[in-house]
Structure 1
Amino acid sequence: MKQPLPVHVGQRNVKTALSASLCALIYYFLGRNPAFACIGAIFGMGADMEHSRLHGGNRLFGTIIGGFLGIFLYRIYLIFYPDGGHHLLLVPLLFGGIVVLIILAQFFWVGAVQPGGVVLCLLLFSIGPDNYVSYSLNRMLDTGVGVAMSLLINWALPRERLERWLAPFYRRSRGE
């Protein structure tokens, strides 16, 4: 008797791979780094449109809120340390920034705290004074492209349609 494979690749996994790969392809032709678009696509894919909107919205709104908040906080930091670098002032700025992020997320998008916090940490601790604005804006744009791609894929290929298309293949693979 034939044993089933212990590995399962479901429809959502395939749609996630398709979404991220299409982002990478588009960005290849644009000559841009596709990393954050692909990450947005991966986080933006859900089991259905409702879950895609939720997870993609978390990622997108978190990136937007964290990005603009990070720009503001880093600008304040540069008033005291114009050359950037790592100084103790970053710690209270991060603390205050996360508190403000939590409050803003309650008004705009509750699930935005974690992705917004990631962007905030990267801006304050990894991106230099010459790139913090362009990094933030590019990250917002790229995340939006990735999330939009996952929403498009989930809209174009809903589970019901895929099941209908794939049913003959499933029957043949089972020997029916």
Structure 2
Amino acid sequence: MGPQEMLDRAEVKNKWQLTPLKDFKSPRLTERMWRTAVVVLLTSLIYEYLIPGGRNPCFALIGAVYGVGSRFEEGFHNGINRLIGTFVGGILVIPFYMLYQKQPFGIPAFLWLAAGLCLVLWCNLALQADSAIQPGIVVYFVVLYTVGEERVVFYTLARILDTGIGVLISLLCYLLLPSKYDKEQGLSFRTMWKAIKHAFQSYKDKNRLFREDEQKNFGMKNKK
């Protein structure tokens, strides 16, 4: 059997009939959908009317969307991942941006790039924030490759601050409009610190299980 014959046999006839339009069903409006819309609207209004200087709300909106989950605990996990990752990647990219551009000691730029990346990874692991690695690396690369030298410090610090504000707005929304599950758990402003402590502990446990699974997948065993 030749290559063309194999392609002809593999070709799906009338492929557009595989998912006929008449069988399409619109997804129902879930709580997560309207909550995301409310958080985005609220964050936009705060930046439009309460934050001085015509500040761009982009990164606050990203942080706010990350902070939305099916309940407070999930939103906290998502938001803290984004915040820790943005903080670690943002702080470390400032010196490594200069090292990458100036290439001191004759060390090539790509080695400074790799060194900074490894440090971002190490810091997230040291903080037991394994799940924050991806957002931290994203910030590291975004600043390194898209921001001009004169804006690096201001841009990075502003991004960290705005991300934190967005996550905070999202979590406060749960206190004002708790999910059904959160209502059953008694979530309110009075129980806020208790809920945060519980969510943070479950976040650490989740990262620990993530690391154990990773070690198992790579054939590594914990040494006691």
Q: Give the shorter-chain TM-score range.
A: 0.7 to 0.9
CA deviation vs aligned residue, 1:2-38 (integer Å, no higher than 9, x gap):
xxx6221211111111111111111112311111100
CA gap of 1:145–1:41, structure 2 versus 1, over 3 A, is same
Correspondence for 1:120: 140
Identify which of 12, 25, 38 aligns with 2:32: 12
| Deviation, structure 1 residue 79 | 3.9
Say what the alpha-carbon RMSD is for the aligned residues: 2.5
Contact between 2:90 and 2:160, CA under 8 Å: does it hold in 1?
yes
Identify which of 93, 104, 127 aligns with 1:70: 93
Contact between 2:71 and 2:182, CA under 8 Å: does it hold in 1?
no
| Deviation, structure 1 residue 138 | 0.3
Quick one: distance in 2 between partners of 1:56 and 1:13? 17
Quick one: distance in 2 between partners of 1:24 and 1:36? 11
Correspondence for 1:92: 111
Quick one: distance in 2 between partners of 1:89 and 1:27? 41
Quick one: distance in 1 between partners of 2:40 and 2:81? 17
| Deviation, structure 1 residue 113 | 0.8
Correspondence for 1:140: 160
Q: Percent identity?
A: 36
Correspondence for 2:3: none
Question: Which stretches in structure 2 are left out of the alignment for 5+ residues?
Answer: 1-24, 185-224
Larger relative contact order (CA 8 Å, sep ≥ 6) = 1
CA gap of 1:89–1:24, structure 2 versus 1, over 3 A, is farther
Moved beyond 2 Å, runs of 4+: 75-81, 88-94, 161-164
Quick one: distance in 1 between partners of 2:78 and 2:182? 21
Are 1:102 and 2:132 matched, yes or no?
no
Quick one: distance in 1 between partners of 2:70 and 2:78? 10
CA deviation vs aligned residue, 1:86-117 (integer Å, no higher than 9, x gap):
xx944322222222111111122221111111
CA gap of 1:161–1:100, structure 2 versus 1, over 3 A, is closer
Quick one: distance in 2 between partners of 1:161 and 1:103? 36
Q: Matched residue of 1:25: which SS?
A: helix
Contact between 1:61 and 1:112, CA under 8 Å: does it hold in 2?
yes
Using the size of structure 1 for normalisation, the TM-score is 0.80
Identify which of 16, 34, 38 aligns with 2:57: 34
Correspondence for 1:56: 79
Quick one: distance in 2 between partners of 1:162 and 1:77? 47
Larger radius of gyration: 2
Quick one: distance in 2 between partners of 1:8 and 1:93? 49
Identify which of 130, 139, 159 aligns with 2:150: 130
Quick one: distance in 1 between partners of 2:139 and 2:64? 17
Identify which of 143, 147, 151 aligns with 2:171: 151
